[in-house]
């Protein structure tokens, strides 16, 4: 493991046994691929149930009398609106009103909050927001995250859980036990399916992982995660959004509480609203395989955008990609050309998400 991989999943040996080389994401060795076919993993998530080790996501605990004020300065949502046992997806901005990160904030009760984020700048910005405040902040890698996704996720977990997970609505969570181990289960995920994330200590996560496999849950790699999240129109920080983009440009305007002010980047974001230079879109690409990414998008020889997150969906029989295009070319049905490396073909802007466009599966009772 290289020096940069300063974080280690307690599931690393299991990933190696499944064929992973433990490639880097967010400073942790991650299962980008297994010996199994990503298409088979894709099928498991869509038809039955699969699971991802999402422990590379960073988990930060925040408590103290000023915790809400600190989180309100850090994020675009009004934190006081998040009830105990609820969570909210939101944006973390730079002073310039652009995307420093995306994250989920959980109200754990007893004046404790948890923020879960990826590879963006949330942690350092949180520290800045907390200066001079009465707040305790602790980053933990001992808390691991196994994301169980698919139509059978509820039945598999409920058979082995002390809490009736039927009671959990989308973006709700609870303290419970799974296979007798203490954990927090959240009805969230990154697949476009009904699913749950299990937050469990590193000393228990191996047993939970093994017992989930025994219960019929298929371990899935990030190669299949890319497929399901692109079909579902879900963004990956660093690819589909960066500090060059405002929430409104990448389709995250819904994470901004309209009546809220005083958070980092608020004034700059307000000034930038309506001045969007790009929009996030999905492309259906006329190619027999996944393209490479970073291809130039053009119309009549004029550059209008760039390809960001490509995949090939064998289930839909389509080459797809999330992409950025100039707003005037973001309408569904717009025909474009993409070119770069060995790729030279046409594509069409299509409505997003291409899978379960009404998002019924994630939100169903």
23 with 94, same domain: the answer is no
180 with 47, same domain: the answer is yes
pLDDT score for 6: 77
Q: Are strands 181-186 and 173-178 parallel, antiparallel or unpaired?
A: antiparallel
Q: Is the distance from CB of 89 to CB of 104 less than 8 angstroms?
A: yes
63 with 119, same domain: the answer is yes
Tokens found for residue 133: 């405040």
282 with 175, same domain: the answer is no
Helix and strand totals (H; E) in the chain:
9, 19
Domain with 22, as residue range(s), is 12-55+141-231
Nearest in space to 1 (alpha carbons), one of 37, 34, 28: 28
116 pLDDT higher than 80 = yes
221 with 76, same domain: the answer is no
Instruction: Write down the mean pLDDT value for the chain.
Output: 97
Q: Cα separations (Å) of 53 from 152, 164, 207, 234?
A: 18, 23, 13, 18
86 pLDDT higher than 80 = yes
Evaluate whether residue 358 is within a structural domain: no
131 with 261, same domain: the answer is no
CATH number for position 45: 3.30.1360.120
Q: Is the distance from CB of 222 to CB of 33 less than 8 angstroms?
A: yes
Task: Region of 261 please: left (phi>0), alpha (psi -120 to 50) or beta.
Answer: beta
| Residue ending a domain, choose from 87, 122, 140 | 140
126 pLDDT higher than 90 = yes
- Number of structural domains the chain divides into: 3
365 pLDDT higher than 90 = no
Average pLDDT of the segment spanning 14-22:
97
Q: Cα separations (Å) of 345 from 259, 283, 295, 301, 327?
A: 45, 12, 10, 13, 21
1 pLDDT higher than 70 = no
DSSP assignments along 84-132, one per residue: TTBEEEEEEE-TTSSEEEEEEEEEEETTEEEEEE-SSSHHHHHHHHTTT
pLDDT score for 203: 98
pLDDT score for 58: 96
| Residue ending a domain, choose from 101, 124, 140 | 140
CATH number for position 92: 3.30.70.1400
CA angle 101, 104, 106 (to 5 degrees): 145
Q: Which residues pair with 31 in a beta bridge?
A: none
Q: Which residue has the tokens 């490509």?
A: 310
Asked, as a colleague might, if the bond just before 353 is cis with ω within 30 of 0, I would say: yes
122 with 153, same domain: the answer is no
pLDDT score for 3: 39
51 with 63, same domain: the answer is no
Average pLDDT of the segment spanning 292-297:
98
116 with 222, same domain: the answer is no
Under the banding of pLDDT at 50, 70 and 90, the label for residue 297 is: very high
C-alpha to C-alpha distance for 55 and 142, rounded to whole angstroms? 9
Tokens found for residue 209: 């992982």
2 pLDDT higher than 70 = no
293 pLDDT higher than 60 = yes
Percent of the chain with pLDDT over 90: 97
The contacts of residue 338 (CB under 8 Å, 6+ apart) are 283, 285, 291, 295, 296, 297, 298, 307, 344, 345, 346, 347
Which contacts of 212-216 are long-range, i.e. CB under 8 A and separated by 24 or more positions? 212/51, 212/146, 212/148, 212/156, 215/156, 215/159, 215/160, 216/48, 216/49, 216/152, 216/156
Q: Which residues pair with 343 in a beta bridge?
A: 340
Nearest in space to 75 (alpha carbons), one of 26, 129, 120, 111: 129
C-alpha to C-alpha distance for 116 and 118, rounded to whole angstroms? 7
C-alpha to C-alpha distance for 274 and 259, rounded to whole angstroms? 17
CATH number for position 269: 2.40.30.110
pLDDT digits (tens, 9 = 90+) for 263-273: 999 999 999 99
Tokens found for residue 178: 């799974």
pLDDT digits (tens, 9 = 90+) for 234-254: 999 999 999 999 999 999 999
Average pLDDT of the segment spanning 54-63:
97
Evaluate whether residue 72 is within a structural domain: yes
CA angle 175, 92, 98 (to 5 degrees): 160
C-alpha to C-alpha distance for 240 and 197, rounded to whole angstroms? 23
pLDDT score for 4: 54
32 with 157, same domain: the answer is yes
| Residue ending a domain, choose from 140, 173, 197 | 140
C-alpha to C-alpha distance for 157 and 179, rounded to whole angstroms? 9
C-alpha to C-alpha distance for 220 and 20, rounded to whole angstroms? 11
135 with 147, same domain: the answer is no
């Amino acid at each position: 493991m290289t020096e940069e991989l300063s974080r280690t999943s307690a599931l690393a040996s299991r990933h190696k046994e499944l064929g992973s080389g433990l490639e880097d994401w967010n400073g942790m060795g991650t299962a980008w691929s297994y010996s199994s076919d990503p298409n088979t993993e894709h099928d498991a998530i869509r038809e039955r149930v699969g699971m991802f080790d999402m422990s590379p996501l960073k988990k930060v605990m925040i408590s103290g009398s000023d915790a809400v004020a600190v989180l309100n300065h850090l994020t675009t949502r009004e934190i006081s609106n998040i009830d105990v046992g609820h969570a909210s997806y939101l944006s973390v901005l730079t002073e310039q009103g652009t995307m420093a990160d995306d994250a989920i904030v959980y109200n754990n009760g007893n004046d404790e909050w948890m923020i879960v984020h990826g590879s963006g700048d949330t942690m350092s910005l949180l520290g800045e927001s907390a200066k001079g405040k009465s707040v305790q902040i602790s980053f933990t890698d001992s808390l691991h995250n196994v994301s169980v996704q698919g139509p059978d996720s509820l039945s598999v977990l409920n058979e082995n859980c002390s809490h009736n997970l039927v009671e959990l609505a989308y973006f709700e969570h609870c303290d419970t036990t799974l296979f007798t181990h203490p954990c927090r289960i959240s009805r969230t995920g990154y697949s476009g399916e009904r699913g749950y994330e299990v937050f469990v200590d590193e000393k228990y996560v191996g047993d939970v992982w093994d017992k989930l496999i025994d219960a019929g849950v298929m371990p899935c790699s990030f190669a299949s995660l890319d497929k399901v999240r692109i079909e579902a129109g879900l963004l990956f920080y660093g690819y589909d959004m960066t500090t060059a983009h405002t929430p409104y440009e990448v389709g995250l305007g819904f994470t901004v509480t309209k009546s809220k002010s005083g958070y980092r980047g608020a004034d700059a974001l307000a000034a930038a609203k309506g001045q969007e230079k790009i929009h996030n879109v999905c492309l259906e690409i006329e190619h027999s395989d996944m393209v490479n990414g970073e291809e130039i998008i053009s119309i009549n020889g004029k550059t209008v955008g760039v390809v960001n997150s490509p995949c090939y969906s064998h289930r839909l029989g389509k080459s797809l990609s999330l992409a950025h295009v100039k707003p005037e070319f973001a309408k569904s049905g717009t025909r474009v050309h993409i070119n770069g490396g060995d790729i030279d073909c046409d594509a069409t802007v299509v409505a997003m998400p291409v899978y379960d466009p009404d998002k019924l599966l994630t939100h169903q009772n």
